[in-house]
Amino acid sequence: MKRILLTLIAGLVVLIAGAAASAQSADNAAADKTAPSYDMKGQSLADLQVVQTKMVALANAIPTDKLTWRPSPDSRSFAEVFLHVAGERYQILGMGGAVPPADFHGKTYEKSTTDKAQIVAELNKTWDFAQKTINGMSNADFAKLLPSLGPQANDGDVVYILVADAHEHLGQLVAYARVNGIVPPWTAEAMKKAAEKKAP
């Protein structure tokens, strides 16, 4: 009986110590006045710029006759994925209140053209829209609650969704390219530089 009582007391002491440590950790977090180490506005723009540069380079590298290629009948074609990315800049940022151009029609946009020059022009046009929208947001705007997305959601989450989505579709396009024997231009450039370093 004495052993059981000692075990229970020891267990209680461990629980109390854990609760105290947890409370201390919460107090420390609340008292932390250090500036955030992550600049979401600057980093999101930097990330999206990388994706934009790669998207345009890849669009220009795809042979014209491949722009309608799709891996299966129910998948988007090259052209449709590029335009899907461009259109989502309007639609995703629209969740935070950004207003797309009056001539943007979301339901038909990604099937609106298979012309390479027009696709690149649309990528550039919507990137300009995204930059202006994000640059126009203050730090307070990033923290502004957006209950339509969830109880704790804010406008910064909208930008985060845009970044994540852009990277997802870039990966999709790289896979499309590789299946078609197309080396992404930035990979081709890296391979060229590596070969030059090895050359005598």
Task: Identify the CATH number of the domain defined by range 40-198.
Answer: 1.20.120.450
Tokens representing 157 are: 């989450």
Contact 170, 54 (CB under 8 A): yes
| pTM for this predicted structure | 0.80
**Whole-number Å distance between alpha carbons of 49 and 46:** 5
Q: What is the pLDDT of residues 86-138, one digit of tens each?
A: 999 999 999 999 999 999 999 999 999 999 999 999 999 999 999 999 999 99
Number of H helices and E strands in the chain, helices first, is: 8, 0
Any idea where the domains of the chain sit in the sequence?
1-34, 40-198
Per-residue pLDDT of the chain (200 residues; tens, 9 = 90+): 555 545 545 554 444 555 555 555 555 556 766 665 568 899 999 999 999 999 999 999 999 999 999 999 999 999 999 999 999 999 999 999 999 999 999 999 999 999 999 999 999 999 999 999 999 999 888 888 988 888 888 999 999 999 999 999 999 999 999 999 999 999 999 999 998 888 87
